[in-house]
Structure 1
Amino acid sequence: MPFDLITIPCLSDNYAFLLRDHDSGKVAVVDVPEAGPIKTELEARGWTLDQVWLTHHHWDHVDGLADLLATYPAKVVGASADAHRLPPLDQAVAEGDTVVLGSLEAEVFDVSGHTVGHIALYVPKAKCCFTADSLMALGCGRLFEGTPAQMWGSMQKLMALPRDTTICSGHEYTASNAKFALTVDPDNAALISRSKDIEVRRENGEPTVPSTLSTELDTNPFLRPANPGIRATLGMQTASDADVFAEIRKRKDNF
């Protein structure tokens, strides 16, 4: 593989990610919930830090940035639409833009919903997408700012990526997401199997993030509003996909 991808647990249930391009040795970190674990990982590997990619403005994704930059003065990349409430940006990006890290290029997607101005970064050469609190393992982010229709539009963009894409999301919420998913998709054999695997992983203290898009497409109810079984469970056989998605999100909010 021409890259390294490192998952770093932060705070109580957050994740940051390090992406290193082998050709150039350049390293990016995606989100900075806290600086300590990221510094520890960089020091242990003997890596420096070239870029910081911020997905959205929430405190648990940016609070460690000043501390991290004091040791590693990297270039900060984030959404132009969110620049007024993000830390100062060196590169402001919007959907369709590209972020270059050595020989790797990240394509920027607007995945508003959880927040307005949330971005995801897809790196084709590394077959990974940093989705933070948009598409999550067995879930999607709570809609603090956007609408269900907006978030469903964001999900559709991510669903169109190659099935073997690694999905690097922002939190360890997968066990609770699995319990909810089974209430709307109870007969899904792949979901039942995944839920058991998640239980074992968490009992062993192992992360359930990243996941793969193929796994999410097969088990994540927020990507499956067209599924006849889910529609039957919800009594929404003739509703639009957007309306089924909205109902699933509403039920998760109240779960």
Structure 2
Amino acid sequence: MPLTLATVPCLSDNYAYLIHDPAAGRTAVIDVPEAAPVLAALSEHGWSLDEIWITHHHHDHVGGVDTLRNETGARVTGARADDHRLPRLDRAVAPGDSFDFAAAPVEVIEVSGHTVGHVAFHIPAAKMAFTGDSLMGLGCGRLFEGDAAMMWDSLCRLRVLPGDTLICSGHEYSQSNARFALTIEPDNAALAARAAAIDAARAAGEATVPVRLSLELETNPFLRADQPALKDRLGLTGTPDAEVFGEIRRRKDSF
């Protein structure tokens, strides 16, 4: 399914994502940290906005929703479990639900951990997943509301998606995440190459997300907590995967 994807920088290090179906002439935005950059991107492309999808309740993902809805009349979709702390929803969804965007089914995936009630939106036909602050470029969200076991389960749901899925995450954290990841797997050649590419991209003022899931699986330590060599290096041989993930998350929190 040919969808046009536009990455929209917002605030200091957030991203919103616009997807446009040229055949149907429909456009959706995933997360709205602030309205003005999204409106500017819509104007630049000559698109009108039909839908707003929300991954979780944090202000840096929903702060512009009401303004954007008022400006465009777009329909808002978010998690039913978070209804009490999201902007007013026109469509409340739950993990396992599916809805259509133009001609494509959109799957709702449970990714709690950073927050409880966090969801991701997966469009299989377009090979795209919008993961908010769950799976990020070389990282994952801090565990503000959930615990390590919850987040590990969420990441396991995401990592079984097809490897060519484009992971569209909510922040420009890749450079600091790469520096941390190299402390966990300093001998990972794919990681070293990715870190160098990220440094070059940031020096040129370019975004480092979205990125294919296959690359995350090779380089993101939070997805690799079940790898025997990684466990051995951390002195956690034989430790359950979720506990290893939790140790990596604790190290990142103090990095």
The alignment's TM-score, normalised by the length of structure 2, stands at: 0.98
User: What are the residue-to-residue correspondences of 1:135-154 with 2, within 5 Å?
Assistant: 135-154=135-154
| Number of the residue aligned with 1:64 | 64
Q: Aligned partners of 1:254 and 1:198: how far apart in 2?
A: 22
1:25 CA displacement: 1.1
| Number of the residue aligned with 1:252 | 252
| Number of the residue aligned with 1:129 | 129
Identity over aligned pairs, percent: 57
Aligned AA (2:82): D
Q: Does residue 119 of the first structure (1) align with residue 126 of the second (2)?
A: no
| Number of the residue aligned with 1:17 | 17
1:99 CA displacement: 2.3
User: What are the residue-to-residue correspondences of 1:1-255 with 2, within 5 Å?
Assistant: 2-255=2-255
Give the 3-state SS of the residue equivalent to 1:205 in structure 2.
coil
1:23 CA displacement: 2.4
1:95-114, Cα deviation, whole Å (9 max, x unpaired): 11112111122100010000
Count matched residues: 255
Aligned AA (1:46): G
1:44-75, Cα deviation, whole Å (9 max, x unpaired): 11111110000000000001112211210110
Give the 3-state SS of the residue equivalent to 1:83 in structure 2.
helix
Q: CA RMSD in A?
A: 0.8
Q: Aligned partners of 2:194 and 2:232: how far apart in 1?
A: 22
**208-217 or 222-231, which moves further after superposition?**
222-231
Unaligned runs of 5+ in 2: none
1:229 CA displacement: 2.6
Aligned AA (1:87): P
Does the 8 Å contact 1:137/1:173 carry over to 2? yes
Q: Aligned partners of 1:36 and 1:156: how far apart in 2?
A: 35
The alignment's TM-score, normalised by the length of structure 1, stands at: 0.98
Unaligned runs of 5+ in 1: none
1:233 CA displacement: 1.9
Q: Aligned partners of 2:88 and 2:227: how far apart in 1?
A: 43
1:20 CA displacement: 1.0
1:172 CA displacement: 0.2
Give the 3-state SS of the residue equivalent to 2:171 in structure 1.
coil
